[in-house]
Amino acid sequence: MKTVLGIVMILSALVLAIAPAFTDCESHGKALTTADGRTVSMKCHWAGVAEVAAAIPLGIAGIYALRGRRKETTRFAAIVGVASGAMAILLPTLLIGTCGNPTMICNLLMRPIVLASGIVAMAASAGLFFVAREPELPAAPAVAA
């Protein structure tokens, strides 16, 4: 079970790192033009770039979930995974955001993909946390003196 959850965390990290590069407005040739004629990237592009910052620790936590032998390591990887998944959700919703027009490609594709990946990452990490909890110690047998 630990292996499956670690693989899910790694796959979620890959989706978070790769999908925004192909689903933001700039990848479809759209940009803002300022009053002086310069072209500037939209905020969905910067939210997509920032998703890499959430994907890297999530991927590393997934590797630790696969390779870690101690329960403490696995539990810490799960905590990092939950935090990274939450950050992935917060970036396009509250922190940076996406374009204001709901018909833009970033709102139709990038945002749902990122939100779904963040939720999957958080669920897999929470599952990993509970899989790695310490078992209860059995009661010590009575010793006759």
pLDDT in tens, the chain (145 residues): 889 999 999 999 999 999 999 999 988 888 888 899 898 889 999 999 999 999 999 999 999 999 988 888 999 999 999 999 999 999 999 999 999 899 999 999 999 999 999 999 999 999 999 998 866 556 667 676 6
Q: For residue 140, is it within any domain?
A: no
Structure tokens at 63: 């590797």
DSSP 91: I
Q: For residue 136, is it within any domain?
A: no
Cβ contact 117:16 at 8 Å: yes
Per the structure, the complete domain to which residue 113 belongs is given by: 2-131
Separation of alpha carbons 121 and 114, rounded Å: 10
10 Å Cβ neighbour count for 99? 21
Segments in 34-100 forming alpha helices (H): 43-67, 71-90
pTM of the model: 0.86
Split into its structural domains, the chain has a count of 1
